[in-house]
Amino acid sequence: MSKLILLEGNQRMIIETIDYRKGMVRIIDQTLLPGEEIFLNLCTLDEVAEAICSLRVRGAPAIGIAASYGMLLNLDKMLQAESAENPEYIFDREEGMNSFSFPGISIEKIRNCLLEAKKRLETTRPTAVNLFWALNRIFSVLDGEEKDPGRLCELIAREAFNIYTEEVETEIKIGKNGARYIKDGMNILTHCNAGGLATAGYGTALAVLYTAKKEGKEFSVYADETRPLLQGARLTSWELERSGIKVSVLCDNAAASLFAAGKIDIVIAGADRIAANGDVANKIGTLGLAILCKAYRKPLYIAAPLSTFDMNIESGDDIHVEQRSGDEIAYLGGRRVVPENVNIYNPAFDITPAEHISSIITERGVIENPRREQIASFIRR
Ligand code: MRU
């Protein structure tokens, strides 16, 4: 069964990457794609944390949504335990908050419950700032005027659901703002997966391609396989193929030969964190493509929501790059391919200096030649 559903009279595609239904966080398990389309109902904070760590749910915006839903889930469980009515769930994205009585609930209990979830989720993945941005957004609801515990819980739920719905709108705007860079007949290279699976369902880099396709443009996409976890081979090609966009998958180390053969017109990718000076953390291998773009005089576009900017980080040097288990490289298809006792280098991301980036496409517009001053004034707008 296809997981693409259509919005606005067949105009827009959205993938059911993540949702909050009846006291559970529902995700499509991305580790099983494309072979199996399995949806998981995550019922505890630990299950959400595990899903983020293991990349069952992944991609900066989707991680942010998962984190906010993880906090809500912890609150849901606590309120269930506090209610004499034994409810099966308290929150649902469509129904909102169900009205049960919670006689023993206090602001202090709510704060402790959210703090527990925040601390747990902060340890899952360090690089995508969207995770921390979403956790802080939920937690800061506690700093508002509301002093009634029941109404405060309702506001927390509303904030979590807003993070999700705002993200969908953001992605549609990113698509519209970036589509002008896509011309008929172009060959476009993308890396990792910055599509619907990495977001609330529409994508950042791939939203640009979906919008261009909707505008009637014809183009071809090359998707790097993206070792070691193959987000390009497994996920990007899965999405693009379903949306009728021509896609070819290549080994990461074939990219240079494509540039040399004159077969790449532009590169477009997403981001996990953008420093105040415009340096971009994205999936390992993005820096190599940036250097190829420079060598072959091709533009590199980064598509990302404003929530991916971290104005507290001066430059890419200060971005914490996640190092992942060597087993991701040591094993291929369940078989060991690296001898025992050999060291393995497995950073999940690299940093592309701002000088290599032609433009950053956001929901608010495009930052051409991103540098510290342009970014600061753009963010202030
Ligand atoms: O390790 P992942 O799969 O979470 O890495 C994802 C990426 O690097 C994406 O390019 C990035 O998060 C942007 S997603 C819109």
Supply the CATH number for residue 206's domain. 3.40.50.10470
pLDDT for position 201: 86
Q: Model's pTM, two decimal places?
A: 0.95
246-250, strands of its sheet edge to edge:
246-250, 220-224, 187-190, 266-269, 300-303, 359-361, 366-368
Confidence of residue 99 (pLDDT cuts 50, 70, 90): confident
The reply to whether 202 and 329 lie within a common domain is: yes
The reply to whether 141 and 113 lie within a common domain is: yes
The reply to whether 125 and 218 lie within a common domain is: no
**Omega within 30 of 0 (cis) for the link into 34:** yes
**Omega within 30 of 0 (cis) for the link into 370:** no
Domain boundary among 171, 190, 210: 171
The reply to whether 25 and 88 lie within a common domain is: yes
Q: Measure the CA angle with vertex 244, ends 240 and 249; round to 5°.
A: 40
Residue 11: give its domain's CATH number: 1.20.120.420
Looking from the CA of residue 226, the nearest atom of ligand 1 is 3
Into how many domains does the chain fold?
2
The reply to whether 164 and 222 lie within a common domain is: no
The reply to whether 161 and 185 lie within a common domain is: no
State residue 330 phi and psi, 5-degree precision.
Answer: -70, -25
Confidence of residue 13 (pLDDT cuts 50, 70, 90): low
The reply to whether 261 and 279 lie within a common domain is: yes
Q: Is the pLDDT of residue 12 over 70?
A: no
The reply to whether 156 and 212 lie within a common domain is: no
Looking from the CA of residue 282, the nearest atom of ligand 1 is 8
- Domain hosting residue 289, numbered range: 180-380
Q: CB under 6 Å to ligand 1: residues?
A: 55, 58-61, 128, 192, 194, 198-199, 204, 231, 269-272, 282-283, 348
The reply to whether 95 and 39 lie within a common domain is: yes
What does pLDDT average to over the chain? 95
Calpha distance 146→143 (Å, rounded) = 8
The reply to whether 329 and 239 lie within a common domain is: yes
Q: Is the pLDDT of residue 380 over 70?
A: yes
The Cβ of residue 190 has, within 10 Å, a number of other Cβ atoms equal to 28
